[in-house]
Amino acid sequence: MDHFVYKHGALHAEDVPVAEIAAAVGTPFYCYSAQTLTRHFTLFREALSPLPHLVCFAIKSLSNVAVLKLLGDLGAGMDVVSIGEYLRAKAAGVPGDRIVFSGVGKTRDEMRMALEGGIRQFNVESEPELIALSEVAAAMGLRAPITLRVNPDVDAKTHAKIATGKKENKFGIPISRASAVYAEAARLPGIEVVGIDVHIGSQLTDLAPFEQAFAKVADLTRQLRAEGHDIRRLDLGGGLGIPYTQSNETPPLPSDYGAMIKRTVGDLGCEIEIEPGRLISGNAGILVSSVIYVKSGEERDFLILDAAMNDLVRPAMYDAHHDIVPVVEPPVGVEQQRYDVVGPICETGDTFAKGRDLAPMQPGDLVAFRSAGAYGAVMASEYNSRPLVPEVLVRGDHHAVIRPRPSYIDLVKRDVIPDWL
């Protein structure tokens, strides 16, 4: 469910006409719905009740500080994978004891900064990282709270670039070695073991791989407790998928996910942490763009937009589908036209959709890419020297620019010509 609907023939973000925002900020721009973000977070919180739990939003999916404050004020924790994301969470007012630090390549400087600022736990991904973290924490007179991320060798049955739980992936410690590595962690002076972490991938639309992985985590919990470790938290990661089309895609609901968690690990007496990103933010955002030209080719027609692959890279990177809808609702029964929807970048890969049926479009018409809230703005670049696009947050009948569009002058002035040129 989202809050981007047609009202009186015009697409609205909650109670604000999208065309009104476009007139104020120009195109392209990202637009997020506060009501949708709130609803999706609340569904996860309700799904895990009454288990002790913390829902940590995966900042990598949408990192704008205003969005983080909205979720943080609702009680969300934050899952970060860099010190930049950590500082964004802190800037949003989220306390350190609600921030979890994930990622395979944490540096010693990042570890030190997180320990200084406060951290709930580090999700440690390797033995070298474990040793480095112990040395950093011990030098500060601290013990770093950690879970070890175990790799359960479970096929998430998702896109190869976002699968993280198979033995050939770079993530985590093989579950077969977990006992030995936990024993090593217990001996290190700067480490406090608090739990287990697992994350098998992103955009999963079937609960079976989760259930398989969580059953292995339950068995490991019992084994590690028998070996003397105080396993009191289970970080189960994120990865639950969303419907990217308005067709018959039906990923599991958060309530189904929560019931499965209770069934597999709910009897262990552990605090449960989950790290959803896409399901909270994905359908909470759209990318709005204007048609520059309609170009007729020999074999196909092209809809050339002012948005490009630098603004939304998912179709080029993952062959991802996004529904594309006109901002002005087309008349009922209008005959559709088939377009390749493309951007202005000098790459054939700058293609959002091939052979997409849409209502006939004209230069200046507005279109919206649905389900663009996750991995949209955060993965954008300035390729072709195109400035990053604005981000707008809507609540009810109010909207605000939460990241302005930089000027071309700002973009160019960042470069520095050395005095010897």
* Residues belonging to the active site: 346
Pick left, alpha or beta for residue 297 (phi over 0 → left; psi -120 to 50 → alpha; otherwise beta).
beta
* Angle formed by the axes of helices 178-187 and 208-226, nearest 10°: 50
Looking only at the bridges linking them, the beta strands covering 337-342 and 301-305 are: parallel
Q: How far apart are CA 87 and CA 366, in angstroms?
A: 35
As given in the structure block, the two tokens for residue 416 are 């520095």
Report CA Rg, the chain: 23
As given in the structure block, the two tokens for residue 357 are 């049926």
Is-contact 401 390, C-beta < 8 A?
yes
DSSP designation for 316: H
Q: For residue 295, what is the enclosing H or E element?
A: strand 285-296
* 17 bridge partner residues: 12
**Residue 335 DSSP SS3:** coil
- What one-character-per-residue DSSP string does 264-293 give? HHGGG-PEEEE---HHHHGGGEEEEEEEEE
* Angle ∠(58,48,263) on CA atoms, nearest 5: 115
Task: Give Cα separations from 76 to 44, 70, 328, 379 (angstroms).
Answer: 10, 9, 36, 23
Cβ-based neighbours of 158, under 8 Å, separated by 6 or more: 201, 202, 203, 204, 205, 239, 241
